[in-house]
Amino acid sequence: MSSIIVNPKNYSGHELETIFFRPLLSGPSAESLGIRILYNMPMPTVVQIWDRKGNVLSPFDEASGWSGGVKTTHYQKTIPMSRVKAENAFSASDYFSTIFELITNRADVNMEDLSGTELEAAETELFRRAIAESIRMNLWLGDKGGTLNTGYTSFDGLLKIVDERVKSGAITHAAKDLDSQLGDYSIAEVLSKIVDEASPRLKGMFPEGQVAFFVSPSIYSQYEAYLDYSYGSASYQDAQTGRQQLMFHGFPVIDINLEPAIGESSLSKDFIIFTDRRNLVMAVNTADSPGSEVRMWYNPDEMENRQRAVFAIGCEILDEELVTAYINAE
């Protein structure tokens, strides 16, 4: 079996998309990010936004001719893309035991007849999981300049973008002293204030069901404790089975767990970001980025199984007016 596992494997072109990245950017991995994902849009990745303001209806009057009103406004936002590589290495013994565990966890595997295809699928899944988690952490903690001590320097993430735009005033619906807010108000009152302070445009998007709170684990725990304390016996069932998804007035409260890296960084450890999910965008490109590939091979000199992926990635906030952010900004 070990002779099969050392065979090199390289994904490029169509295989790179269909076998490796498309499954990575859909299903549970993508849903856990909770935001909008754009895959293999032409580079540079530009999002087109059409915004009509005003009323398109007018009284019917044949004599008046064309009365189309105000033209639709066209905006566009370019998502900055960075070429990155993901690399992983295992000693031969650790690698084999890890791959073997993934295979044995499947009920449909015949352990007496393990084919190269099954080993390849397990190896691909192992690397895919590692990349998915790294993408999630970079998405929020990324700091390309490396000055915030996050440990994630591939591209600028959402927390850095929010922090900079709150400080510059680009995000006007914001508070820079979340700790002070929580000292003066209960967590429910703070969440209620954030909803009330949302821009009229964001409030107009409430019925579409895509607006949510993105919060740090501490904020999530405070809200959970508030529910337990406030509703007593009504939360008995939750205490037994747990809560699958916290909600506040119909808006999902999404726990963004970035520990332990965020605790060592200069970013706000606690945050509440209230926006439409589609307003937070991550773009990944494997088609137009030169040299994009996934390669897995065995290095006999170091006795290591190695994995490498090369692709382009970036994230952006499309419209700052659709964001209400409470952070601790120095």
Where b means 16+ CB within 10 Å and e means fewer, 24-42 reads bbeeebbeebebbbbbbbe
Residue 45, pLDDT above cutoff 50 = yes
Mean pLDDT lowest for which of 76-90, 123-137, 228-242, 244-258?
A: 228-242
pTM score = 0.85
Rounded to an integer, the average pLDDT of 214-233 is: 88
pLDDT in tens, 2-20: 444 556 778 888 888 888 8
Q: Provide, rounded to the nearest whole percent, the portion of the chain with pLDDT above 70.
A: 76
Q: What is the mean pLDDT of the chain?
A: 84
Phi, psi values for residue 302, rounded to 5°: -95, -5
Residue 267, pLDDT above cutoff 50 = yes
Q: How confident is the model at residue 66 (pLDDT cuts 50, 70, 90)?
A: low
Distances (CA, A) of 87 to 21, 91, 157, 303: 15, 14, 20, 16
Mean pLDDT lowest for which of 18-22, 65-69, 206-210?
A: 65-69
Residue 170's pLDDT is 96
Residue 76's pLDDT is 80
Phi, psi values for residue 228, rounded to 5°: -60, -45
Residue 330's pLDDT is 75
- List CB contacts of 13: < 8 A, sequence separation 6 or more: none
The β-bridge partners of 50 are: 74
Residue 244's pLDDT is 73
Rounded to an integer, the average pLDDT of 175-201 is: 96
Q: Which of 203, 218, 200, 217 is nearest to 250 (CA)?
A: 203
Rounded to an integer, the average pLDDT of 279-296 is: 89
Residue 240, pLDDT above cutoff 50 = yes
Rounded to an integer, the average pLDDT of 242-269 is: 91
Give the tokens for residue 23: 């499954």
Mean pLDDT lowest for which of 29-43, 66-80, 284-298?
A: 66-80
